[in-house]
Structure 1
Amino acid sequence: MSENELEFAMKTGSGKGTGWGRGRLSRSVMSILAAGGMVAVVASCTTNPYTGETQFAAYDDAQLSQLSATAWQELKSETPTINSGAQYQRVMRVWNRIAAATPKAGESWEVRVFNSDQVNAFVMPGNRVGVYTGLLDIVENDDQLAAVLGHEVGHAIYRHANQRATRSAAASTAVQVGTAVLSNSSSMGAYANQVGALGSVAANLGVVLPYSRNAELEADLAGVDYMHKAGYDPRQAIRLWEVMEAKGGSAGTADFLSTHPNPATRRERIRQYIQQKGY
């Protein structure tokens, strides 16, 4: 995925948001957020207005929306969009049903259909959603498209971009503090850089990546709820990951080092959830 300044990167391809494939925060955004340091991270327990949960989210959603606005405009200027025709109408038809079935029903969204062969979809802070025509060529029916779009709204409902930004900044700050302490030590100063590098790796593997995997599963299950409420077949969310695995998906990356679970993991968790809910 490409990474531009002040952007949230989408998934596989060239993205800029929390997305349905493999997403990550750009280095530039993380540098800016980390600059807020421990002060921002300490006062970070907030209540999610959509779920009522207490979350580790230090940043104001409006601030993240403003940061992502630049990337959103750049993407629209760089990638052709379609505003009419069968593909556009299909996306909007499914989107309107899904959006109305979520806790964000009634909110204003900006939805764009990008004319690209990327198999991709994403959401950005500020209620911005992008769908690539390459994805439309892969999904077998509207139910599978509903699973993808429901997943994207799930990211927004659970404020995953905000939470991941907070955790990444906290991990970065902790490593910086540890490195500074070692640098001031007469006995360990020579090892500060090495320890700092190892600390960054450990923080990434132990905090950021596992959180991202959990966030993806959380969005998967939220999407199942929304598609069921909207009248779509939730079992098609299972079939979706069979299709994606057949097309390559993310199965080539080990779970331990991936920000996303592999398709088999997602299928099984969705299957269990559907059985549990009685859908």
Structure 2
Amino acid sequence: MLLVVLGLSTQSVQASDNLSNCRLQNDVGNIIMNSQEFLKYLETGSGANTVLRLERSLKDPGVSGLLQRLIDNGHKNLAAQLQSFVKQQRQLVFSHEKSGRRTTAATALDMRVKGQLSSLSRRNTALPCRAPAGAGGHNSVSGRSVAQSLLESGVLYFFGIILVVGGLAAGGMAWWSQVSMRRAKRYSCMIPCSVVGAEGRQAAVIVDLSRAGAIVDLKKSIAQGEEVELNFLGETATGRVVRNKNGSITLNFLTMLNTAVIDKALFDEPETGLVLAGK
């Protein structure tokens, strides 16, 4: 019985390590994919929304956490290469914001970004993310499916319980989040801001603000359902357009604003943001 338990434990650890590597490979792959699409946009001018997607994927603490996870799992060389690449991509995004697409495309060519991207992709593909080795010690997939192997080791049963409990917790959190968003106090105001969408950045004015969302007046319409970035008074919030009417858009923030941000926007900056009334 002890040997069976030890065997199941070993298989569970191996499956867990494999799952960690696969997640790392996927997270690094997302940065690679967004960078590839960004380079394609620089070359062709098609797909300006790729800039916003790349900016998000390069933000901390997500990148710092990914680098630490790579190091913790024994992939220091990949972590070092990714860190250098991320720094380079941030420079290109900054160059695009200040100098435009064509200048940035020339800079990317001088920096030989494509070659570095190919090298990073090869190293990421080499991460040990694969099915359990077959009989005889060969690195081939056994006749049984990966799911069957995991089921027999008890890993899927264990993760199934986690998913059920996690699903219930997530459902409760989502319900409470909706309740909190509906109860969030709204303030009429006049706060200068900028909105970054699929077609680029434009100046705008926040006329209604709460922790859950905002109403923004702007010149160029943005389609309902589009995800945008709202920048105001040194703060940044990401939201989805839920309404578009008469030169105004209504945003639902993907993450509720901290009360300190509301205080800063509405009460600590009287020279730049005028609060009219609470609702």
TM-score bucket (shorter structure): under 0.3
Structure whose CA Rg is larger: 2
TM-score (structure 2 length as normaliser):
0.24
The higher-RCO structure (CA 8 Å, 6+ apart) is 1
